[in-house]
Amino acid sequence: MGKFYITTPIYYINSVPHIGHAYTTVIADALARWHRLRGDDVFFLTGLDENSAKTLEAAKERGFKDIQAYADSMANLWLSTWRLLEISNDDFIRTTQERHRKNVIELFERIRSKGDIYKGTYEGLYCEGCEAYYTEADLIDGKCPLHLTRPKWLKEENYFFRLSKYADALLKHIEENPDFIQPEARRNEVVNFIKQGLKDISVTRQNQQWGIDVPGEPGQKIWVWFDALINYLLPKKYWPADVHIIAKDIIRFHCIIWPSMLLSAGLELPKRIFAHGFLTVEGQKISKSLGNVIDPAYLVEKYSADVVRYFLIREVSFGQDGNFSEASLEARLNDELADILGNFVHRVLTFIRDRFNSRVPEGKVDRKLEEEILQRVEKIERLLLELKVSQALDEIMAIARRGNEYFQSCKPWEAIKKEKEKAADCILSCVNLVKILCVSLTPFMPEAAAKLAKQLAIEVKHWNQAKAFDIRPGHVIGEPVALFAKLKKAEGPKEKLISIEEFGKLDIRIGRVLAAERVPKSKKLLKLEVDLGREKRTLVAGIAEKYAPEDLVGKNIVVLANLEPAKLMGVTSEGMLLAAEDEAGVSILVTDRPVKPGSKVR
Ligand code: ME8
């Protein structure tokens, strides 16, 4: 088998990972795992782009004096997110590492020695978000199309890279290698852009404090994109990359600048660059300011890594734009993973356990079904070679769907009563389908597939195991367990909401604390005497770890006044003080002016 070197972009560390990053990384991971399963010599590289001016800004914003310490903490966060998502990268590159700096300098010097780097003055519109110069024609209403901000006018003495020199060679390469840039729409976009003419680009920056120094000229830093792209050269023995997976936002850097740098340096070009679409969240662009950045770790904790991986790969046809919503994730979990896949597998395995004493029965395989399924597996293989991951997963699910239909049509639970052989034939074919599902799902949902392999009492070692009905009569299976728990259907909004009348049942009032003391022998409880307007009440509140009694006297607090009295450590509490709680502990609710005691809260 061959070598397979796959990469993701290296992500900026000014922000935390979100599902857009998870999308690219999960897809690259599934492909890497699939190639490993085929026996290929795989190298899967992901990492972080740390030398950006954005890193410096973000570190300062968060009060870090030591920028590297900030970068280290972000690297931990990104790495732990990838571990949670079962990402199986072979290395994790950080551009602040010395091994990367060395590679950058080496390539810079190599390109310089070819006469393709020269000194000049640059003046132009600069987008700080992209860290790139733009021409008027690139802008929409004078703004960067990606960041929707107005670029600044910048004039600097820089080093330039002779990008213009490579336009023809690049066009020729794209023409001769139709797979080089995918999908086709992106390829056309790149071709049109090159045909408009390429200008030389400045590849160093003046007056920056963070980044890689141009050798011998500490006043100049190497431009972050020139630096970042070189990360891909890290595993030298695996170069050229078989595929760079990126999204459409960074195609010009990857499909124009990067190949030109490589042409200049006399290195091979990557074999393929696949630019997928952009995900929105609930229909909106993912952005910090919109507050819709979903932490993949949260989703993993709630639904498991496999479910998140499945959803990300399955939801959007790879290459197209798509949308993320928790409701559609839950629908796919219930309707596909639990009802189709989980159901089929569980029915077959429990049938073997209950009716055949966990032993695969003697019988005849349905040759027609076998042929149909093996053709599907071939199709899956073809799709994966073409990077059509969502379609491949769809095809795998079609096998599960077919399995359910088959099981349903031969009704082994009835056949077993009169025609035991017919039931045995059906089950022998079905258990082979379960095995094929197990093998083919391994790259996509590694945990669920491992669980299933255990139930089948098989070891998944090679993709070829998906290409045969080789579970034979007599094979003893393990204990069946449900693979995916179905979520209870979320209650309709009417049932979840309460009416204003229901809210009105709560008698919430302002109380003024007259006296406070610790409840003896309790670390948590304080006893408060509270003026509620017409009456005085005793309240017991679990806030002693955060508040000293003297902090509270005179404060206007919020009290649920019509709560049944309750005895706490021997003291009767006649109502409840309201407080909020987060990781830092409790925080009592108070009014922002001395409202009259007894006032109602609505
Ligand atoms: O561009 N939908 O880093 P970055 C889908 N450091 N994918 C998304 C996405 C979304 N809404 N948002 C981000 C950089 N991505 C540079 C790369 S490489 C030499 C340097 C994914 O942190 C997608 O893969 O902005 C996109 O290309 C990448 O994150 C951009 O990551």
Q: pLDDT (tens digit, 9 = 90+) per residue, 74-117?
A: 999 999 999 999 999 999 999 999 999 999 999 999 999 999 99
Phi, psi of 419 (to 5 degrees): -120, 75
- Amino acid letter for position 145: P
Measuring CA to CA, which residue among 319, 320, 172, 193 is closest to residue 253? 193
Q: Are 304 and 360 in contact (CB under 8 A)?
A: no
Reported as a pLDDT band with limits 50, 70 and 90, residue 493 is low
pLDDT of residue 495: 55
Q: Is 238 in the pocket of ligand 1 (CB under 6 A)?
A: no
462 is catalytic: no
526-541: b (≥16 Cβ within 10 Å) or e: bbbbbbbeeeebebbb
Whether residue 492 is predicted with pLDDT greater than 70 in this model: the reply is: no
pLDDT of residue 494: 53
Asked if omega into 17 is within 30° of 0 (cis), the reply is no
18 is catalytic: yes
Reported as a pLDDT band with limits 50, 70 and 90, residue 219 is confident
Catalytic pick among 102, 288, 302, 462: 288
pLDDT in tens, 41-64: 999 999 999 999 999 999 999 999
| Partners of residue 205 on adjacent β-strands | 221
21 is catalytic: yes
pLDDT of residue 399: 98
Q: Which residue has the tokens 């009259």?
A: 596
Q: Are 31 and 384 in contact (CB under 8 A)?
A: yes
Q: Are 425 and 364 in contact (CB under 8 A)?
A: yes
Q: Is 23 in the pocket of ligand 1 (CB under 6 A)?
A: yes
Q: Looking at ligand 1, which residue's alpha carbon is closest to its atom 21?
A: 21
Catalytic pick among 152, 155, 199, 285: 285
Question: In the numeric block, which tokens belong to residue 176?
Answer: 């001769």
Q: Looking at ligand 1, which residue's alpha carbon is closest to its atom 7?
A: 20
DSSP 3-state of 507:
coil
Of residues 395 and 565, the one with the higher pLDDT is 395
> HSE-up of 114 (CA within 13 Å, CB side)?
20
Tell me the C-alpha distance between 340 and 331, whole Å. 12
Q: Is 246 in the pocket of ligand 1 (CB under 6 A)?
A: yes
Measuring CA to CA, which residue among 477, 508, 530, 444 is closest to residue 361? 477
pLDDT average, residue stretch 325-330: 96
Whether residue 489 is predicted with pLDDT greater than 80 in this model: the reply is: no
**Dihedral (CA of 90, 94, 100, 104) sign:** positive
Q: Which residue has the tokens 């810079």?
A: 108
Tell me the C-alpha distance between 446 and 448, whole Å. 6
Tell me the C-alpha distance between 77 and 71, whole Å. 10
Q: How far is the CA of 23 from the centre of ligand 1 (A)?
A: 10
Q: How far is the CA of 247 from the centre of ligand 1 (A)?
A: 6
Q: Are 514 and 530 in contact (CB under 8 A)?
A: yes
Average pLDDT over the chain, rounded to an integer: 94
Catalytic pick among 35, 54, 100, 144: 144
Structural domains in the chain, sorted by start: 333-467 (1.10.730.10), 500-588 (2.40.50.140)
Say what percent of the chain tops pLDDT 70: 99
Whether residue 413 is predicted with pLDDT greater than 70 in this model: the reply is: yes
Q: Within 85-223, where are the H helices?
A: 98-113, 167-176, 184-195
Whether residue 287 is predicted with pLDDT greater than 90 in this model: the reply is: no
- Residue 113 exposed, middle or buried by CB count within 10 Å (0-12, 13-18, 19+): exposed
pLDDT in tens, 108-139: 999 999 999 999 988 889 988 888 888 888 89
Asked if omega into 520 is within 30° of 0 (cis), the reply is no
CA dist 512 → 1, 515, 525, 535, 574 (Å):
78, 9, 18, 11, 14
Q: Is 229 in the pocket of ligand 1 (CB under 6 A)?
A: yes
- Sheet with 152-161, strands from edge to edge, namely 132-134, 117-127, 152-161, 201-202
Measuring CA to CA, which residue among 70, 76, 67, 1 is closest to residue 34? 1
Q: Is 49 in the pocket of ligand 1 (CB under 6 A)?
A: yes
Checking phi first, is residue 367 left (phi over 0); if not, alpha (psi -120 to 50) or beta? alpha
pLDDT of residue 122: 81
Asked if omega into 240 is within 30° of 0 (cis), the reply is yes
Q: How far is the CA of 8 from the centre of ligand 1 (A)?
A: 9
Q: How far is the CA of 21 from the centre of ligand 1 (A)?
A: 6
Q: Is 245 in the pocket of ligand 1 (CB under 6 A)?
A: no
130 is catalytic: yes
Q: Which residue has the tokens 């993709």?
A: 463
pLDDT average, residue stretch 289-293: 83
| Partners of residue 539 on adjacent β-strands | 528
DSSP 3-state of 267:
coil
Q: How far is the CA of 288 from the centre of ligand 1 (A)?
A: 14
Catalytic pick among 35, 54, 127, 438: 127
Q: How far is the CA of 195 from the centre of ligand 1 (A)?
A: 26
